[in-house]
């Protein structure tokens, strides 16, 4: 074991530092590889619930802290640091549940499904939905908001058209991730640029070299997949049943779209996500009371219990009985455990030691870029949150990129490819859990259909080994990037 030490503070006595050992490379590797093996074993062999798997993973990591002279209070303090940092996102989880419930009760979701069924053909649904989600996410700078608004509607429309929901979810997440990755008002775009110490627009320009071709591949793929549903148009009689069912249940008109419009406008004006969601939910609640004949008590109850709508149509009712804070409890509790686990790994030095060892092994530029992408992905898997993995990997790789004369915009691009995109494919990250809960499709079910999210990192690695879009650093100092509102 290494003789080096780290200092934390006893939460009971902030004036008395407690010294604990820094883990050796072997100790850190055994801890993290053991955790990865246990998670894989639990998911794919035992097929157990993620909460129990991660909780036992936390026990494993805590046990490995004991040889470092750590006590229980230090481990608890490390968990608390992670939760304090993630609390805004955790509150957004609950607000998303409220937004979904009120948007259903107000007729916003019903109106959008109605117009979607009436005017959109299944053959063009997937590519059109991809472009729509991309534009929404580019404009508002948030994949979460896009998935929770336009995504919920598109899931409803696609399900009513008979398109498998994992394919629809993959399309939605691909489009939302593209906008979140490329938008100058996105928090992850700005965070990646700041972490790599590069100019915001140099970062976006660098990303366009790998993301542009990847997006075209995704668009062509979804267009080709959509053609297989060209003959799947609903029979006129069945379509009439769905439209009449919606018309009989809700007051259907464009005015019912007001909550969604307000949410998008507030997001574009960089209003805090929590405030924007609350305003939109309150407007939707008023529409539900005054236009949809919902009782005030029922609407308030739906904030927690979710919407309860019965149309008598089997294909519609599952889409209209969702939302509420209770719908997000699974996501909230999973994120709580995952973030606590990741924070212990970070605060106790396990990740730091391994990443410093990795830096000493990387020599070639292609290996450097590949390592940055894969390390960000691995940090995502262990930390459960893309924000921390972007910051940590950016700090660790920045000097190595300078030494090899590679523009740090290539580093920031790699951070997004391994972090922003891949986090959606990991069930226990905050993003993966959020998407699964919001769209009602398990992460491992939609993962293969999020074409952009796995093609883009592969494109980044391929470009590194071919030597394409690997820019050399200039002597100019990078400009300061602009801050962004959090997701």
Per the DSSP assignment, residues forming a β-bridge with 5 are 21
Phi, psi of 120 (to 5 degrees): -110, 135
pLDDT at position 396 over 80: no
Instruction: Confirm if 418 and 371 have CB atoms less than 8 A apart.
Output: no
Distances (CA, A) of 239 to 115, 245, 278: 12, 10, 34
Instruction: Confirm if 426 and 338 have CB atoms less than 8 A apart.
Output: no
Instruction: Confirm if 206 and 440 have CB atoms less than 8 A apart.
Output: no
Q: What is the mean pLDDT of residues 341-362?
A: 83
* Per-residue pLDDT, 393: 82
The encoded tokens of residue 73 equal: 């209070």
The domain segmentation of the chain, as residue ranges, is 79-487
pLDDT at position 481 over 50: no
Sign of the alpha-carbon torsion through 372, 378, 381, 383: negative
Neighbours of 59 (CB within 10 A): 11
Neighbours of 123 (CB within 10 A): 17
pLDDT at position 162 over 50: yes
* Per-residue pLDDT, 475: 59
Q: C-alpha dihedral over 392, 394, 396, 399, to 10 degrees? A: -160
Break the chain down into helix, strand, coil percent, rounded to 5. Answer: 75, 0, 25
> Which pLDDT tens digit goes with each residue over 374-387?
989 988 887 777 77
* Per-residue pLDDT, 235: 59
* Per-residue pLDDT, 30: 94
Task: Report the predicted TM-score, pTM, of the whole model to 2 decimal places.
Answer: 0.70
Distances (CA, A) of 238 to 55, 69, 112, 319, 396: 47, 67, 18, 17, 58
Please tell me the number of Cα atoms within 13 Å of 322 on its side-chain side: 25
Instruction: Confirm if 481 and 198 have CB atoms less than 8 A apart.
Output: yes
* Per-residue pLDDT, 276: 84
* Per-residue pLDDT, 166: 96
pLDDT at position 13 over 60: no
Rounded to an integer, what distance in angstroms lies between the CA atom of residue 73 and that of residue 52?
Answer: 22
Helical (H) or strand (E) element with 8: strand 5-9
* Per-residue pLDDT, 18: 39
* Per-residue pLDDT, 318: 75
Q: What is the mean pLDDT of residues 164-175?
A: 96
Please tell me the number of Cα atoms within 13 Å of 310 on its side-chain side: 1
* Per-residue pLDDT, 47: 80
End-to-end CA distance of the chain, in Å? 40
Instruction: Confirm if 139 and 156 have CB atoms less than 8 A apart.
Output: no
Rounded to an integer, what distance in angstroms lies between the CA atom of residue 376 and that of residue 474?
Answer: 25
Q: What is the mean pLDDT of residues 129-153?
A: 81
Instruction: Confirm if 204 and 184 have CB atoms less than 8 A apart.
Output: yes
Mean pLDDT rounded to a whole number for the chain = 83
* Per-residue pLDDT, 12: 40
* Per-residue pLDDT, 300: 95
pLDDT at position 448 over 90: yes
* Per-residue pLDDT, 19: 46
Q: What is the mean pLDDT of residues 74-102?
A: 83
Residues of the chain above pLDDT 70, percent: 90
> Which pLDDT tens digit goes with each residue over 455-468?
999 999 999 999 88
> Which pLDDT tens digit goes with each residue over 253-276?
989 989 888 887 887 777 777 888
* Per-residue pLDDT, 225: 94
Rounded to an integer, what distance in angstroms lies between the CA atom of residue 105 and that of residue 372?
Answer: 45
Angle at 223 between CA 220 and CA 225, to 5 degrees: 110
Among residues 458, 456, 435, the alpha carbon closest in space to that of 446 is found at: 435
Rounded to an integer, what distance in angstroms lies between the CA atom of residue 419 and that of residue 440?
Answer: 23
* Per-residue pLDDT, 233: 62
Give the residue, 232 or 453, on which the prediction is more confident: 453
Among residues 393, 408, 390, 409, the alpha carbon closest in space to that of 359 is found at: 393
> Which pLDDT tens digit goes with each residue over 322-334?
888 988 888 788 7
Rounded to an integer, what distance in angstroms lies between the CA atom of residue 284 and that of residue 290?
Answer: 10
Distance of CA 308 to the CA centre of its chain: 27
The encoded tokens of residue 22 equal: 């820094």
Instruction: Confirm if 460 and 214 have CB atoms less than 8 A apart.
Output: no
Local confidence band at 17 (pLDDT 50, 70, 90 cut-offs): very low
* Per-residue pLDDT, 65: 92
Distances (CA, A) of 157 to 178, 304, 309, 429: 21, 25, 17, 27
Per the DSSP assignment, residues forming a β-bridge with 406 are 472
* Per-residue pLDDT, 14: 39
Q: What is the mean pLDDT of residues 415-432?
A: 91
* Per-residue pLDDT, 418: 94
Q: Tell me how long the chain is.
A: 487
Distances (CA, A) of 392 to 64, 79, 133, 346, 383: 21, 17, 29, 9, 10
Rounded to an integer, what distance in angstroms lies between the CA atom of residue 120 and that of residue 400?
Answer: 50
Return the minimum-mean-pLDDT range out of 161-170, 172-181, 347-356: 347-356
Local confidence band at 185 (pLDDT 50, 70, 90 cut-offs): low
Rounded to an integer, what distance in angstroms lies between the CA atom of residue 362 and that of residue 369?
Answer: 10
Rounded to an integer, what distance in angstroms lies between the CA atom of residue 180 and that of residue 307?
Answer: 29
pLDDT at position 113 over 90: no
């Amino acid at each position: 074991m290494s003789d080096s030490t780290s200092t934390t503070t006893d939460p009971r006595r902030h004036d008395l530092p407690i010294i604990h050992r820094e883990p050796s490379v072997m100790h850190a590797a055994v801890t993290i590889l053991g955790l990865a093996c246990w998670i894989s074993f639990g998911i794919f062999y035992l097929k157990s619930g993620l909460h129990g798997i991660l909780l036992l993973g936390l026990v494993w990591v805590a046990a490995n802290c004991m040889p470092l002279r750590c006590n229980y209070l230090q481990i608890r303090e490390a968990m608390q640091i992670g939760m304090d940092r993630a609390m805004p996102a955790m509150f957004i989880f609950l607000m998303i549940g409220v937004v979904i419930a009120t948007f259903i009760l107000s007729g916003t979701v019903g109106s959008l499904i109605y117009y979607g069924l009436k005017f959109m053909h299944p053959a063009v649904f997937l590519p059109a939905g991809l472009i729509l989600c991309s534009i929404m996410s580019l404009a508002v700078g948030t994949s979460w908001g896009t998935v929770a608004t336009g995504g919920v509607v598109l899931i409803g429309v696609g399900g009513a058209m008979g398109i498998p929901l994992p394919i629809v979810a993959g399309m939605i997440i691909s489009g939302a991730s593209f906008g979140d990755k490329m938008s100058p008002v996105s928090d992850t775009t700005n965070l990646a640029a700041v972490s790599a110490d590069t100019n915001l627009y140099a970062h976006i320009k660098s990303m366009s070299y790998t993301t542009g071709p990847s997006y075209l591949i995704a668009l062509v793929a979804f267009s080709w997949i959509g053609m297989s549903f060209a003959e799947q148009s609903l029979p006129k009689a069945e379509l009439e049943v769905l439209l009449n069912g919606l018309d009989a249940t809700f007051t259907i008109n464009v005015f019912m779209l007001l909550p969604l419009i307000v949410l998008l406008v507030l997001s574009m004006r960089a209003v805090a996500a929590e405030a924007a969601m609350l305003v939109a939910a309150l407007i939707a609640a008023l529409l539900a009371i005054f236009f949809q004949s919902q009782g005030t008590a029922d609407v308030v109850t739906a904030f927690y219990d979710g919407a309860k709508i019965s149309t008598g149509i089997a294909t519609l009712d599952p889409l209209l009985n969702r939302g509420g804070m209770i719908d997000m409890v699974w996501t909230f509790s999973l994120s709580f455990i995952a973030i606590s686990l990741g924070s212990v790994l970070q605060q106790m030095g396990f990740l730091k030691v391994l990443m410093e060892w990795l830096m000493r092994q990387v020599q070639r530029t292609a290996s450097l870029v590949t390592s940055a992408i894969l390390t960000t992905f691995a940090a995502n898997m262990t930390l459960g949150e893309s924000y921390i993995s972007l910051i940590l990997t950016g700090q660790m790789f920045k000097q190595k990129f300078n030494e090899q004369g590679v523009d740090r915009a290539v580093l920031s691009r790699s951070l997004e490819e391994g972090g922003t995109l891949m986090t959606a494919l990991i069930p226990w990250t905050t993003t993966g859990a959020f998407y699964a809960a919001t769209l009602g499709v398990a992460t491992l079910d939609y993962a293969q259909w999020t074409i952009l999210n796995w093609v883009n990192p592969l494109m980044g690695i391929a470009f590194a080994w071919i030597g394409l879009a690997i820019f050399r650093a200039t002597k100019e100092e990078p400009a300061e990037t602009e801050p962004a509102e959090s997701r």
